[in-house]
Structure 1
Amino acid sequence: MPSKLVRRSMNSGSDRIILENGAVRVVLLPGSGGRIESLQGGGFEFLLQPSHSFDEQLTPGMSFQDGACSGIDECLPTVARSWIGIPALEAPDHGDFWTIPWTVQESATSRSVTIVADGNSRPLRFTKRLEVSPTSLQIDYSVENLSSKAVEYLYACHPLFSIDPGDLVVLPASVASLRVESSAHNRLGNQGDSISWPITYNASDSIDLSATVSSNADTADMLYAGPLASGRCGLFRSVVGRGIVLRFDPAQLPYLGLWLCYGGWPDDSEQRQFAVALEPTVAARGSLENAIRDGVAPVLEPNQTHSWTIEFLIVGLNGAISKETFVRSIEG
């Protein structure tokens, strides 16, 4: 059975590939940065959908907030814009790959597809293979250095999850502290500060970071956990008694970025984001510039390839489960 290909009327870069297997349905946009637009389990959408109109003709180097700000993108070779003002060393906001078209490498089936793209700021070839099962989406990644010189890079998966107040963010039981990358209004401190997880404190209150709050909280925090002993984390959606678990090898992706945005970003827009992102990553830094400065950026030697896998497992497809059951599915 061939996969479904649906052409939107906007432009040819918006072709969709739909993968389905049992209760799991995935929509991929190869021509729009290789973005995973939708990840559904039992008809329930786990990914944030665009809250504003945007030009689907993505332009390399554009600001991330001018794009869809939804679904799952890939950040390579940086997350935050890097080396501003040094042209030979710059990398754009959220990296090269979310703004460029990807090519389908082999004939897609109803359950799997492989896409590939070459970066703009670095000589990197990025490949990902998506395969759906009745309970999960598995993505196999590889990044290859096409040049004769070593290349430093950052990688972070960037899944923006839809949320409601009262949902639960679950990190590995071994995580007791987080590193602050940024915090709107400095409510959790400054870059590089260490805070406790899941309960932390500011000048006047204790804060349960694991519990999602309302969209008008006016907070936006980027935090890092790691190095990790366990490559499992997840988000429980209370409204359906169902959750999504990310599983990965901490030897390949030893850190986890945690984006908690409750109406505090972008600060120059009327449309504020309401989402959580769980971001397996190679280093606890937001920009390649800082990762190189601190000596934590991975290095690809000439013609070398690094590979890794991330699985998005949907728990509760056979009936609503409790938060406690969901937590045990991660800790177990």
Structure 2
Amino acid sequence: MREERVQWRGIAALRCSAGGTSVVVVPGRGAKLVSLRDRTGREWLAQGDGRPVLGDPATAFEDAEMCGWDECIPTIDRSRTTTGLIAPDHGDAWNRAWEESPDGALSTHLPSVDATFERGIGLEADGTLTLSYRVKAGPAGADILWAAHPLFLREAGDRIRLDAAKPLWDVSAPTAVPAPGDPGERVNAPMPKGASAKYYTDPEERPRWARIDRRDGASLRLEWEGRAVRTLGVWLDRSRFATEDVVAFEPSTGWYDSVDAASAADRVLRVGPGGTAEWSLVVRLTAS
């Protein structure tokens, strides 16, 4: 894997490349992945509308860049944590500068739960991207609801495939309700411009992958390893919040968006005092 220093919207970034595949990471902006290109040069991540990067920690997620791949931890929705503190919308990490370590890993402190969060990156010549995660709790321990938040571009003719057999749950409203029917048909159903929807796999299932197939033969497959990852969220947006049509595959350590609610339901990653938890994601790109 080759690494080079670049700029993204005037902010220092790191481009990793191997075998024609490349990924660009911005440590100073939540370690966001702002580009993921396969060996043909196809961009898989939403690029947004180029709006300025807002440095105010109080910036709402939907007012930020709405592009790339963010890490949501220890919650997605604004929520009270096990420390009694409030974690902001989409968590502590996405708009915080991360530190670089000599081995190339990036890390940040999560103040709302007094924990440390770390992510390593690896890229193979065959287009396989591996993200390795580790969370270390402080003396009080922590309940952690982490979710990846990659905004993958969605094109006409795409087919979304999920590792899910049971009906999905519609969590777009304040209260989750079952979404009858086949999961694949549900997430591939036509949506009008300006619409948005969020689903989760059934809490009793343990999905392990999600995939986008392009009609020209290209594909992206997201897989995850580790007992910590227990469920999958799927966010579909046709320019209601994002500026492009996107699908976000959100493997998560909790069910569903609020760490407070997930803790109450015992559907969350519990890390004991001073303990650690690890998991990983793998992105496999197939070029057309």
The alignment's TM-score, normalised by the length of structure 1, stands at: 0.79
- Kept after mapping to 2: 8 A contact 1:47/1:161: yes
Equivalent residue letter for 2:154:
I
Match of 1:37 among 34, 39, 44: 34
State the AA in 2 paired with 1:236: D
- Shift, 1:252, TM fit: 2.6
Counterpart-to-counterpart distance in 1, 2:175 and 2:167: 14
Identity within the alignment, %? 24
Three-state SS of the structure 2 residue aligned to 1:292 is helix
Q: 1:228 aligned to 2:205? A: yes
2: CA distance, partners of 1:229 / 1:298: 14
Instruction: Indicate the residue corresponding to 2:80 in structure 1.
Output: 83
Partner of 2:257: 286
From 128, 140, 163, the equivalent of 1:136 is 128
Q: 177, 181, 193: which one pairs with 2:171?
A: 181
Comparing both structures, which one devotes a greater share of its residues to strand? Answer: 2
The structure number with the bigger radius of gyration is: 1
Gaps of 5+ in 2: none
Distance 1:71 1:255 in 2: 21
Match of 1:65 in 2: 62
RMSD, matched Cα: 2.4
Q: How does 1:1-332 map to 2 (within 5 A)?
A: 3-7=3-7, 10=10, 14-42=11-39, 43-57=41-55, 59-83=56-80, 88-106=84-102, 113-134=104-125, 135-145=127-137, 147-172=138-163, 174-182=164-172, 191-198=175-182, 208-211=185-188, 213=190, 216-226=192-202, 227-238=204-215, 240-249=216-225, 251-263=227-239, 265-266=240-241, 272-315=243-286, 317=287, 320=288
| Residues in 2 aligned to 1:312 and 1:99: alpha-carbon distance in whole angstroms | 23
Paired residue type of 1:75: C
> 1:285 is aligned with what amino acid?
Y
**1:103 touches 1:116 (CA, 8 Å); kept in 2?**
yes
Query: Which 10-residue stretch deviates more, 298-307 or 217-226?
Result: 217-226
- 1:18 partner letter: R
Distance 2:8 2:149 in 1: 24
Q: How far is the alpha carbon of 1:217 from its aligned partner?
A: 2.7
How far the C-alpha of 1:249 sits from its partner, in A, is 2.5
TM-score in terms of structure 2 length: 0.90
Partner of 1:330: none
SS in structure 1 at match of 2:268? coil
Q: Given that residues 60 and 96 in structure 1 are in contact (C-alpha distance below 8 angstroms), is that contact kept between their aligned partners in structure 2?
A: no
Rounded to whole Å, the distance in 2 between the matches of 1:2 and 1:15 is 17
Residues 280 and 52 (structure 1), Cα distance of their counterparts in 2 relative to 1, 3 Å cut: same
Contact 1:61 1:93 in 2 (8 A): no
The structure-2 alpha-carbon separation of the partners of 1:247 and 1:98, relative to structure 1 and needing over 3 Å to count, comes to: same
In 1, Cα distance between equivalents of 2:281 and 2:259: 22
AA of the residue aligned to 2:276: T
Whole-Å separation in 2 of the counterparts to 1:140 and 1:8: 23
Q: Displacement of 1:6 after TM fit?
A: 1.7
CA 1:77 to 1:310, structure 2 compared with 1: closer, same or farther past 3 Å?
same
Displacement of 1:80 in angstroms is 1.0
Alignment length (residue pairs): 285
